[in-house]
Amino acid sequence: GAGVSQTPSNKVTEKGKYVELRCDPISGHTALYWYRQSLGQGPEFLIYFQGTGAADDSGLPNDRFFAVRPEGSVSTLKIQRTERGDSAVYLCASSLRGGSGNTIYFGEGSWLTVV
Amino acid sequence: AQTVTQSQPEMSVQEAETVTLSCTYDTSESDYYLFWYKQPPSRQMILVIRQEAYKQQNATENRFSVNFQKAAKSFSLKISDSQLGDAAMYFCAYRGDPNYGGSQGNLIFGKGTKLSVKP
């Protein structure tokens, strides 16, 4: 597609449930990022993929959060045993390569609400 | 660790006037990149302008320009001839350069400034 595509756009789930958020990056982009944006805050880094491997997962808050990118394109962010504090917009982004000089392009995010 | 501070939670400007949004950052790295992103209600972060720290010349992109003061670690955004479509959240962001021993190169954002444009 022309831009970074994220599904679902909105997701409401019950506390304790499992959630998957999908990201389809810009075609040809090797680097993919996940960020989390809480209300009234700037986005916070979660994880960065270069190709199929997670090059930096230092932003994942705990072991309930996991992300994969098995074929180096689409990525899935997985959240187990969701908590109310996980409610946020989850932004996916991609860049042509991983270097700092490459522009990062964002999707419109998946708004997760845990009730 | 690097930090980015935006001290203005909200700003307002009259249509066609000029407004400046402030941003300061803290880092011990010598080479890095700075960005301003715009986030309208659609939630998509849109790149407005970028600045490489090794370049002394301030970046300009049409009505948008920056005042980059490396020694003061300041990176303000000036919007000239403001338009109604400029109304949005604006985020300042920092990215280190791993080629020079910096961080992994991921974006560190400030808390944002909400810009309103009055007709």
Q: Please report the pLDDT score of residue A108 as a whole number.
A: 93
pLDDT(B21) > 90: yes
Q: Which residues of B touch A58 (CB under 8 A)?
A: 104
Give residue B102's pLDDT band: very low, low, confident or very high (50, 70, 90). low
pLDDT at residue B41 in the model: 87
Q: Do B33 and A101 touch (CB under 8 A)?
A: yes
- B38–A contact, CB cutoff 8 A: no
**Predicted local confidence at residue B98, as pLDDT:** 67
- d(CA B43, CA B22) in angstroms, rounded, equals 21
Is residue B104 pLDDT above 80, yes or no?
no
Is residue B46 within 8 Å of residue B37, measured between CB atoms?
Answer: yes
Tell me what the pLDDT averaged over chain B comes to. Answer: 92
Q: Is B55 on the interface with A (CB under 8 A)?
A: no
B99, pLDDT greater than 80? no
User: Which of B23, B45, B51, B111 is the best residue to mutate to test the A interface, defined by the most A CB atoms within 10 Å of its own CB?
Assistant: B45
**What integer is the mean pLDDT of B16-28?**
96
Q: What is the pLDDT averaged over residues B86-98?
A: 91
Mutate to test the interface with A, among B8, B37, B43, B100 (most CBs of A within 10 A): B43
pLDDT at B77: 98
The nearest alpha carbon in chain A to B95 belongs to A100
Q: How confident is the model at residue B101 (pLDDT cuts 50, 70, 90)?
A: low
pLDDT band at B1 (very low <50, low <70, confident <90, very high): confident
The pLDDT assigned to B105 comes to: 55
Report the pLDDT averaged over residues B87-91. 97
Q: Where are the beta strands (DSSP E) in B7-96?
A: 10-14, 19-21, 24-26, 32-39, 46-52, 60-61, 64-69, 74-79, 88-96
Q: What is the DSSP letter of B73?
A: T
Q: Nearest C-alpha of chain B: how many angstroms from A18?
A: 24
Per-residue pLDDT tens over the stretch B49-78:
999 998 889 999 999 999 999 999 999 999
Alpha carbon of B109: minimum distance to chain A alpha carbons (Å): 5
Nearest residue on chain A to B99, alpha-carbon basis? A99
State whether A99 and B99 contact (CB < 8 Å).
Answer: yes
Given a cut of 50, the residues of chain A with pLDDT beneath it are none
Burial of B16 (0-12, 13-18, 19+ CB in 10 A): exposed
